[in-house]
């Protein structure tokens, strides 16, 4: 009587190494991160050129950060009120030909386009809040929100604020604009109109 022998199961072959996609993913991630950094650097260069041009037009006085009482107009030339005119974007906008895509880069640009679909009033307000690079307003130009550059503040903290381009000895080391983050509709927004030094809160509470 003949019997049929069942073949022995072949053990699974263990795959070694990585697929092409797996190898490319880290490189792609690094490339995208590098591209984002380049976009921010290009934006920063244009912002600094506009910032310097503003100072040239105002006898060397630098662009104030969040400050009350300044005049600004929207993309249609209409005057804007508080708090929009207190923020720097619409005051800087004429020196950027009012091209807010310079202010909104990378994924943050989609947020700008979302604002543009909501009408001019909504756009004007929201576009002033979330630029990719925030101004170092407490130390450059002055800020009415956290630490106003008054004589009393200077007596207590020293000359912490730069009022004009000639007021700093180390211009190359002075941070004017830097990457900022905030929250919008419960999610992280890759931008905000101002940044604060990390030690400021601790220093103020210590007083």
Provide the 10 A C-beta neighbour count for residue 147: 21
pLDDT for the residue numbered 167: 78
pLDDT for the residue numbered 106: 94
CA-to-CA dists, residue 172 to 48, 83, 149, 193, angstroms = 12, 31, 22, 22
User: In the predicted model, what is the mean pLDDT of residues 101-111?
Assistant: 94
pLDDT for the residue numbered 205: 42
CA pair distance 129, 182, nearest whole angstrom:
10
* Pairwise pLDDT comparison (184 vs 78), residue with the higher score: 78
pLDDT for the residue numbered 24: 58
Whether residue 18 is predicted with pLDDT greater than 70 in this model: the reply is no
State whether residue 90 is helix, strand or coil: helix
Q: How confident is the model at residue 201 (pLDDT cuts 50, 70, 90)?
A: low
pLDDT digits (tens, 9 = 90+) for 118-177: 999 999 999 999 999 999 999 999 899 888 888 998 888 888 888 888 877 766 678 899
Terminal-residue alpha carbon distance, the chain: 101
* Pairwise pLDDT comparison (18 vs 171), residue with the higher score: 171
């Amino acid at each position: 009587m003949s019997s049929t022998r069942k073949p022995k199961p072949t053990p699974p072959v263990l795959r070694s190494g990585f697929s092409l996609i797996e190898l490319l993913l880290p490189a792609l991630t690094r490339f995208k991160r590098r591209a984002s950094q380049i976009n921010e650097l290009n934006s920063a260069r244009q912002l600094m050129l506009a910032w310097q041009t503003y100072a040239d037009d105002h006898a060397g006085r630098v662009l104030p950060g969040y400050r009350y009482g300044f005049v600004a107009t929207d993309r249609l030339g209409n005057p804007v009120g508080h708090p929009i005119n207190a923020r720097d974007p619409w005051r800087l906008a004429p020196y950027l030909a009012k091209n807010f895509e310079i202010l909104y880069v990378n994924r943050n640009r989609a947020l700008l386009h979302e604002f543009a679909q909501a009408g001019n009033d909504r756009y004007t307000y929201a576009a002033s809040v979330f630029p990719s690079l925030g101004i170092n307003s407490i130390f450059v130009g002055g800020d009415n929100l956290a630490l106003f550059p008054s004589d009393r503040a200077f007596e207590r903290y020293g000359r912490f604020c730069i009022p004009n381009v000639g007021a700093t000895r180390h211009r190359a080391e002075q941070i004017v604009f830097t990457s900022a983050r905030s929250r919008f509709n419960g999610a992280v927004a890759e931008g905000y109109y101002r940044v604060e030094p990390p030690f400021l809160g601790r220093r103020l509470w210590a007083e």
